[in-house]
Structure 1
């Protein structure tokens, strides 16, 4: 069936276009060269919408700003940590190195996820964005969290020798790092606000990762400053070791949250409840639809949603009428949920009571 999008005229089928007869439970198929080509062109245009490209450019700038800040800060923290023999400062250096590598992953995600669909990947490469975000989460856990735990445990076990000569320089480095990380966080939050604020502004996993990294960095630097200051005042390394352990715990938590979100999106996360409810309500309001037996949705990328619905039509509709109804429904779904990319309608005579047992039909976890 042809899929129309907002602002597009519904295509008129050539005389050869027809709705093939189908058995119960089989999707209705629409044939016709001109309509299929039109749908393909529309899909390609949708994948390269100017608004998506503009959002990608803004996200790329945000990632580059964070990368530049982290590279400079990582070097400064490493030098200061070695001079002061500070476990907290070395933990923060590892944190910044991990963040820098993660920004490289995110830049790769921005470039590779926008590749057009091909024969091997007919739904496109949108999910590659989620894959690179998962690698970034693993990097935060391994390079940041684990190294911070190691530094904290080593300081507690060995009772690190107190060297105060470089601590003033270390605190200065952390102060500069706090300003730089804060500036990067403000830049990321500004973009979130420009993209709708709240969860709408954080739909992009790359931008969400940058916000999480910068927010964690600001909190981590604050913990390191507190630990170093208490170490200098009390002369007890336990304070700085504790701050290093706290930084490690913070990084592990952030990595877990980011990794869980990326995992859900990779294995096939459904659309948000609001979008699913809008689609279901639209289908139920169509006079030609007797019942909506099941609705399935899956995120195929940042701005790409797959929608599949099993519907039962009222009796007495001929093939041409079924075709017209399908075109109108697809156009309507795309108009109320702009990120809709692929829409499949399955017309079935299966009893609604049987289909209602599906999690997708009831709205339970795993379905829309």
Structure 2
């Protein structure tokens, strides 16, 4: 199940980020590198994001209610969207603010090299260890994604995936590794040249990276929140299955909507022969539903409407909504 693989990847990322965040904060308190602080906040934000993803997964499994008859599957999309906001604000904007603050400090204290004579080596060691731990988390996310990705390219997988957890963890881990490389570059050059502007540059690059990743996540999860149809392959399977019953002449139209990553709503109108009996029509609908569920197991809610196909039929115009109290 994609949900199980996503949960494993999220838990692996959470454990890695918690450990990394603690070591980064300790290194910052001792060495006072702004790149290290930006990375510490980044790891803390990532840890909070993984908790949000786990919470969204748990809440999405609640049973349907009269007020929410289709269940709570989209809560996973909502919490993934919140993750993008956290990454943008707590991660990206804070890093950019810290870069500006460090640059302003340099202007006021030009003699400050930004290198601690005792603990200069500690941030580099911590960043190297963090790269190793983050690589394990990234490898777990890649392994779980490969189980469902098939031969789809990675960019297409991130854009088309209906389960948000794996794309979120993949992007966060990728950004984390790239951010660690920026931090290592900034801190390392600061130590070698004793020019703190390298630290400012590293922090700025981290902030811009996190803002960019957050925007990508927000755009993708917004599309899921608005409601996406099934993939073209899934729609083709459903259309083929719908024509299997002997009483179905053709599919007039078909619409699908993801109620959650593993929950699909199917609404279709299909043509039957004129004069068919009610009993035969009911049997055809039952057979069509069984065929659709066999072809696409995620089709949980199915609405089928039989009709007589007419090539010259013109749909009736929708009435203009009447505004008034309560609308």
* TM bucket normalised to smaller: 0.7 to 0.9
5+ residue gaps, structure 2: 318-327
Matches within 5 A, 1:332-347: 332-347=291-306
2:123 is equivalent to residue 176 of structure 1:
no
For these two proteins, the number of residue pairs brought into alignment is 305
Determine the structure 2 residue equivalent to 1:155.
102
1:205 matched to 2:156? The reply is: no
Q: Which segment is superposed worse, 253-262 or 128-137?
A: 253-262
1:331 is aligned to 290
3-state secondary structure, aligned to 1:271: coil
SS across alignment from 2:259:
strand
Q: How does 1:183-262 map to 2 (within 5 A)?
A: 183-197=136-150, 198=152, 199=157, 203-262=162-221
Is the Cα contact below 8 Å between 2:88 and 2:210 reproduced in 1? yes
Give secondary structure in 2 for the equivalent of 1:204. Answer: coil
Contact 1:192 1:202 in 2 (8 A): no
Equivalent position of 1:73 in the other structure: 20
1:235 to 1:137, Cα distance in 2 relative to 1, 3 A: same
TM-score calculated relative to the size of structure 2: 0.85
In structure 2, what is the Cα distance between the partners aligned to 1:106 and 1:172?
30
RMSD, matched Cα? 2.5
Which residue of 2 is the match for residue 8 of structure 1? none
- How far did 1:289 drift? 3.4
The structural deviation recorded for 1:260 is: 1.8
Question: Equivalents in 1 of 2:84, 2:314: separation in Å?
Answer: 38
Does the CA-based 8 Å contact 2:247-2:284 persist in structure 1?
yes
- Which residue of 2 is the match for residue 64 of structure 1? 11
Bigger mean CA deviation after superposition, 125-134 or 229-238: 229-238
CA shift, 1:60, in A, is: 3.1
TM-score (norm 1): 0.76
Distance apart, 1:98 and its partner CA: 0.5
1:271 matched to 2:230? The reply is: yes
